[in-house]
Amino acid sequence: MLLFLAAGGEEVTMVIEQHLQRLEKFDIHPWSGRGTSAWISGPGIHSGITSRVRFHCDPLAPVRLRVGKTEIPLTTDFVKDTYLATRIGVEDVTVSTVEHLLAALYVLNHWTGFVIEVQGDEIPILDGSALGWYHMLRRVAPEPMPTPITPSREAVAEVREGYVGLEPALPDEPLRITVKIGFPHPSIGMQAWTGLRTDCHNLLDARTFGFNHLLDRLIVSGRGMGFDGENAVVFDDVGTNLSLRGKDEPVRHKALDLLGDLYLIGKPLHAHVVAESASHEAHVKFANLIRHG
């Protein structure tokens, strides 16, 4: 059975309403309490191909993806690739760019109760943030949360692009994440964000971003084919193609990506996670260490 909530917290609702006009251009059918499914469709940022993502009620069962007859558990054991986005799959059936969807599930505390049917091989990028996914599911009450993981030993993931590790956590802090980034663009520079899981709704509107001088190289490599000028923030020598949603939007988006990748631990995490200039590769390596620690 599905339980439905009133609108989310006032602060989150204000963010949703502020960007509702942008969300209306997408094919989003949120759960309203009349039925057992909801869906979103739209192009992927890398493939440019339109996919449809439909949520079906499956009480008390772990949240997972379904592509055709293949079910894909949402854990690090099924990660296939982490270059520019997180791709998961079983054998040759894969789905890419899952991190924004997973971040919204983490914010909403949804660990069970859905099977997510994907028609396509990439999750729609929407406006580049997680707002659409939150908007679709925000009225659905979460089922009882699984027992969180509290790491008993130090876990550090250090790769060529970044570092993710554990810092001492206070007993009353279930999850805290601290993210630090640095880019030589005057509109970014050095940025940091820290917050508890209950603060992570402040990450939902932060959009994916990149740099104009890298766009041609990205497209030649067969990625970024779904970029339409409005679904990602692009920094160039004079500014950005879209107005920023706060000066700290870049670091908040990196924190959103981290939260989505941490969902692949398979359970909530009780720890203080610190990421410095970290890529999806570092996120997933860290999450895998925690999952199998």
CA distance 64 to 29: 20
- Calculate helix-pair angle for 249-262, 99-108, nearest 10 degrees: 80
Looking at residue 117, the DSSP 8-state letter turns out to be: E
If phi > 0 it is left, if psi is from -120 to 50 it is alpha, else beta; for residue 82 that is alpha
The type of residue at 268 is P
Give the CATH architecture of domain 10-137.
2-Layer Sandwich (3.30)
Name residues whose C-beta falls within 8 Å of residue 87's C-beta, 6 or more positions apart in sequence.
79, 80, 81, 94, 95, 96, 97, 98
Cα–Cα–Cα angle for 54, 9, 23, rounded to 5 degrees? 45
| Total-model pTM | 0.92
Report the C-alpha gap between 132 and 23 in whole angstroms.
Answer: 7
Q: What residues contact 110, with CB distance under 8 A and at least 6 apart?
A: 63, 137, 140, 142, 143
Q: Rounded distance, CA 88 to CA 74, Å?
A: 8
Check 100, 280, 283, 292 and give the catalytic one.
Answer: 280
What is residue 96's DSSP assignment?
A: B
Report pLDDT for 248.
Answer: 97
Please state the φ and ψ torsions of residue 268, each to the nearest 5 degrees: -60, 150
Averaged over successive runs of 10 residues, the pLDDT of the chain (293 residues) comes to 42 61 76 73 95 93 97 98 97 98 97 96 96 88 90 79 87 90 95 96 95 86 90 93 95 98 96 96 96 90
C-alpha pair distances (Å), 60 with each of 26, 261, 282: 30, 22, 31
Half-sphere exposure of 58 (CA within 13 A, CB side): 16
pLDDT of residue 15: 62
The token pair at 236 is 């160039």
270 an active-site residue? no
Comparing CA positions, the residue from 39, 136, 50, 122 lying closest to residue 86 is 122
Residue 51, beta-bridge partner list? 42
Residues 6+ apart with CB under 8 A from 31: 2, 4, 37, 38, 55, 136, 137, 139, 140
Residue 4 pLDDT? 35
Rounded Cα gap, residues 113 and 55, in angstroms: 10
Residue spans per domain, the chain: 10-137, 156-291
| Domain 156-291 fold | lpxc deacetylase, domain 1 (3.30.1700)
